[in-house]
Amino acid sequence: MSFEKNLLQMKKLIKKKPAKETSLASFVMPNPPAYLETWKNAGLEVIENQFGLVFMKKTVYSPQFFHGSFKLSDVFHAFELWNQLEEEHPISTNGQNVVFFDTETTGLKGTGTYIFLSGQLVFKNSQFELTQHLMADPSHETAFLYETGLWKPNQTVITYNGKSFDWPQLETRWTLNRTYLPKLSVPHHIDLLHGSRRVWKGDLTQFKLTSIEVEKLGFKRIGDIPGYLAPIIYLDAVKNGDPHALLKVLHHNEWDILSLLTLFIHSSKLLLEESYTETALTSTNIGKWFADLKMYEKSQDQFDQITSTYEKEEASMAFYYIGFNYKRFNRKEDAYQSFKNALLHLPLRFKINAYEELAKIDEHLFKRFDQAIIYTHEALKLIEAIPELTDTKKIKLKNAFEKRLNRLLKKVK
């Protein structure tokens, strides 16, 4: 009898013991904090659920309420603009319930970092409603997470840096409380930080939300607490029971979320409303973004508007990117003219690419080898003039252009 058959017979003789039933530990309800009445008297509502209690503050705003330069009801126009767009864009809404969401935490990362404040702004009952849930103390975390309702499906969550920070932190806390909580939903997530970096690249020097408020949204905070103090204030309030400073943290969170909504309005109009513009640079960044998303028609419309509105100096980058659009569709003569229009005022590192594209078209399409040699020489001169190029990059570029030059020189002999 083979070894395999012996092994199979032995397996039949082994009687499997039924698996022991395991039961999850029952949930132990935490005690209410000693400062319950003090925080209630400060204006915080108490919500009780099956896991403990949560403090809550609710604030409502009329659709006519202005935050900075924007009326809150303008968000419906932004939604409509996205509904009219057939393609998918990173900040387009998809018709689901939209929630403007922001958190405050006791730290920046790690399993010892708690979310202690969750703010959510929605449109409900003909008004905008901001609900802020505040964790009573860490023993009531399960109650706090459950009460946020973020486990409910079919939501669009709009955040600022939420994909890198708020949502991963929420997932960590949810995992640690998964025994008792419903499964966390996977919402459609729009992170406006990424969009802001695309739209205002080269325009803004920093992308803190408070900076964008001043530079782009017409809002300047007065009496705000620095965000880095929020964890200290919360932990101190839990320790001493005094909510006075903690209410300022809620106000800080409120401003964050209102600015989220107005930033969404402003970004949406810049992207999709033809007559709504800022500068040639902003419009060029938007056109480039559409091109990167392969939305070439939208990209071309954006660039055409720039080149017809601004002088060549301001529109140089638009001409540069139009050249690549034309090249994609094999309109090489148009691409050649666009690169020439761009050339005079381009930043040096883009000039090298423009010279390369012009040399390619002269060599392969027009067979003007002498002109291609001129452009290649110009590119080689520029390589040494760009300080941000590393030695490795300079060597690589030189080798490529010298190879092109040698090939061209052979063709003119």
| pLDDT of 23 | 42
| pLDDT of 17 | 47
Give the span between the Cα atoms of 61 and 43, in whole angstroms.
Answer: 18
pLDDT band at 292 (very low <50, low <70, confident <90, very high): very high
Determine phi and psi for 70, rounding to 5 degrees.
-125, 140
Mean pLDDT of 79-98: 90
Which residues are registered as beta bridge partners of 158?
Answer: 100, 190
Determine phi and psi for 225, rounding to 5 degrees.
-90, 145
Mean pLDDT of 170-179: 95
| pLDDT of 25 | 60
| pLDDT of 96 | 72
Instruction: Name 381's Cβ contacts closer than 8 Å, sequence gap at least 6.
Output: none
Contacts 24+ apart (CB under 8 A), 374-382: 376/401, 376/404, 376/405, 376/408, 377/405, 379/351, 379/352, 379/355, 380/405, 382/348, 382/351, 382/352, 382/355
Written as six digits, the tokens of 4 are 């395999």
Instruction: Name 257's Cβ contacts closer than 8 Å, sequence gap at least 6.
Output: 100, 101, 102, 119, 120, 121, 130
Is residue 126 packed enough to be buried (19+ CB in 10 Å), middle (13-18) or exposed (0-12)?
Answer: exposed
Neighbouring C-alpha atoms within 13 Å toward the C-beta of 281: 9
| pLDDT of 15 | 46
If you average pLDDT over every residue of the chain, what do you get? 92
Protein fold of 36-272:
Nucleotidyltransferase; domain 5 (3.30.420)
Question: How far from chain centre, in Å, is Cα 91?
Answer: 8
Protein fold of 347-413:
Methane Monooxygenase Hydroxylase; Chain G, domain 1 (1.20.58)
What pLDDT, in 10s, does the model give residues 269-289? 999 998 999 999 999 999 999
- Go through the chain and tell me how many residues it has: 413
Could you tell me if 340 and 358 are in contact, meaning their C-beta atoms sit under 8 angstroms apart?
A: yes
Written as six digits, the tokens of 151 are 């486990």
pLDDT beyond 60 at 55: yes
As a whole-number percent, the residues of the chain with pLDDT over 70 amount to 93
Residue with tokens 């939208």: 298
What pLDDT, in 10s, does the model give residues 202-251? 999 999 999 999 999 999 999 999 989 999 999 999 999 999 999 999 99
**Which helix (DSSP H) or strand (DSSP E) does residue 155 occupy?**
strand 155-159
- The DSSP secondary-structure symbol of 119 reads E
Determine phi and psi for 282, rounding to 5 degrees.
-60, -45
Domain boundaries in the chain? 36-272, 277-336, 347-413
pTM, two decimal places: 0.88
Give the span between the Cα atoms of 54 and 134, in whole angstroms.
Answer: 6
Is residue 384 packed enough to be buried (19+ CB in 10 Å), middle (13-18) or exposed (0-12)?
Answer: exposed
| pLDDT of 388 | 86
| pLDDT of 11 | 46
What pLDDT, in 10s, does the model give residues 361-413? 999 999 999 999 999 999 999 998 888 889 999 999 999 999 999 999 999 87
Collapsing DSSP states into helix, strand and coil, what is residue 56? Answer: strand
Neighbouring C-alpha atoms within 13 Å toward the C-beta of 311: 4
What pLDDT, in 10s, does the model give residues 123-165? 999 999 999 999 999 999 999 999 999 999 999 999 999 999 9
pLDDT beyond 50 at 178: yes
